Amino acid sequence: MKNYFLFSILLLSNIIVAQEILKLDDAISLALKQNPNILVAANEKELAEVANNWYAAGRIPTVSVNGFFNNSLTNLNQKLNNGTSIERNGVRNTTLNGNA
């Protein structure tokens, strides 16, 4: 029993001595390095530095060209108020648009 007690005291003293003493400055720097909010803020800062250019600020104009072509074929049946009746099959409508 005496040997067991002595062995446990020696083992416990080795564990206590083997631990590194954490200073206040080390604890603060470790907490700042592992804080997720600070890591996200650092990433956002890097992103803002990369996006800080003339193009992202809207100073350089962008040019875009659009085009549209529509072709339709319909049947026309109209009755006017004066009694005239208009019936046409295969009426073609073509629309062409473009802008820059």
Which carries the bigger pLDDT value, residue 87 or residue 18?
87
Q: How confident is the model at residue 16 (pLDDT cuts 50, 70, 90)?
A: low
The residue-averaged pLDDT of 11-29 equals 71
The DSSP code sequence of 30-85 is: HHHHH-HHHHHHHHHHHHHHHT-SHHHHT-S-----EEEEEEEEEEEEEE-TTS-E
pTM: 0.32
Residue 15 has pLDDT above 80, yes or no: no
Residue 89 has pLDDT above 60, yes or no: yes
pLDDT of residue 2: 65
Q: How confident is the model at residue 70 (pLDDT cuts 50, 70, 90)?
A: very high
